Amino acid sequence: MKWNFATAGQLKASLRAGEVTSAELTDDAIARIEQDDKAINSICVPDFDRARAAARDADEARARGEDRPLLGIPVTVKECYNIAGLPTTWGIPAHRDHLPAEDAVQVSRLKDAGAVVLGKTNVPLGLQDIQSFNDIYGTTNNPWDQGRTSGGSSGGSAAALASGFGALSIGSDLAGSLRTPAHFCGIYAHKPTLGLAANRGMVPPGTPALPVGLDLAVVGPMARTARDLTLLLDVMAGPDPLTFGVAYDVRLPPARHERLDDFRVLVLDDHPLIPTGAAVRAGVNRVADALVDGGAHVERHSPLLPDLAEAALLYTQLLFSSTVARFPVDALDQLRARAAELSADDRSLAAARLRGMVFSHRDWMEADSRREAHRHAWRRLFAGFDAVVCPITPTPAFPHNHSPALEARRIDIDGAEYPYFDQLAWAGLPTMPGLPATAVPTGRSPEGLPVGVQLIGPMFEDRTPLRLAELLEDRIGGFQPPPA
């Protein structure tokens, strides 16, 4: 199992050089999963027979002279993506037998690029938690501390990558679901610009796989190195061939800079609505120090930065307005009654969640208008800066908490308790305006847990934070395997 922690780039070079076959890589990955995943529980739907067949096909294709972007490289796929012949449940017990008839568009792109799909990775119930557990597949543990969460909702993918189960994975992100698991497990992930990568077939079970645009949510790549994120994003990027793809091809602009000393970076570690834990603040400062040492222009404040409190409240309202679309009428009436009791000057995130859940269409249109004002403010900011560095969540991975009353849960930040969902404030910062954000590991906490930060870039300039992630990886190191 010597290949398990190799990067996709390294595997690609070794396959081209004839140093290894895809069949050998696939058998290696399967052996490691069978040996180690009993403790981690990240691969919830193995597909080993078809993976071995795909690996043989990849080797035969290479022998014929083919060389596709991911030819022969073992990968995993988040459970929420449709794969023909495999269950797509989103962790919902009522749909445990749902078998889609065709692949999601991103699964098709993986296969067209030559990737070997090992299986599907675990998720929380309905993808609606910062952890990954459900009554069908059980709990995914953090490879660094099995008593802690791997994150959610792409926690299975992050744990699989950290454990050496495949070189790449694809996930999705609405509330930090790519970036938070990456931060908790010590890997890399990239939340693309909203709309950059087609999402058809990443739908709840029983829902038609139609080419619809999503509000806030994106699909994106996960890897053990920043350069592998770019490799996978190039496979994923592009409009749906059934809609915009009829007329448009994607052509991302190059990174603004190639050298670290040309970058202008704004570094943030304080949020007005939730404190930043000491371990995460230290991670932000490690990145800031590396930027300064590398000659980058670094600032800690800017009058051009959009108001963080308003951004968090607006994100929260938009996010939770989508969570109640299928609630029964009596449940909505109860929510409206609770919302009517809120004080007009209650500007807490809890109040924003409740108000969002009872949004009228008029309310949503007003919120969307305010979002456009924030997008314009970000454009002004990125005229003077190339990237923003900030936390993903206030803490490293927290202990498993399976209390069914999500609103009653609390998150511990340096000994003080805060509402569980308040920790989404940082993750929502780039999500609300649709900006790209790259999660990068920065080292470990005093308890030995991974700590990551996110690099936010200008809209549709995804290569800029990705390039900055590569340069930081060279200076501060990147992924390290968990202790055996």
Query: What residues act catalytically?
Result: 78, 153, 177
Helix (H) or strand (E) holding 172: strand 168-173
Contact 214, 434 (CB under 8 A): no
Distance CA 158, CA 182 (A): 6
Question: Under DSSP, is residue 124 helix (H, G, I), strand (E, B) or coil?
Answer: coil
Residue 60 CA to chain centroid, in angstroms?
33
SS3 content of the chain, % helix, strand, coil (to 5): 40, 15, 45
Distance CA 37, CA 40 (A): 5
Q: What residue type is 466 in one-letter code?
A: L
Helix (H) or strand (E) holding 441: strand 437-444
Distance CA 254, CA 246 (A): 24
Distance CA 228, CA 390 (A): 22
HSE-CB at 191 with a 13 A cutoff on CA atoms is 38
Closest CA to 397 of 353, 441, 350, 430: 441
Per-residue tokens: 317: 């309202």
| CB neighbours of residue 32 within 10 Å | 18
Distance CA 454, CA 421 (A): 19
Opening angle at CA 152, ends 120 and 234, nearest 5: 60
Per DSSP bridges, beta strands 387-390 and 450-456 are antiparallel
φ, ψ of residue 133 to 5 degrees: the values are -155, 150
Q: Which residues contact 287 (CB under 8 A, 6 or more apart)?
A: 267, 389, 440, 442, 453, 472, 476
Residue with tokens 């071995």: 52
Q: Which residues contact 417 (CB under 8 A, 6 or more apart)?
A: 410, 411
Contact 182, 452 (CB under 8 A): yes
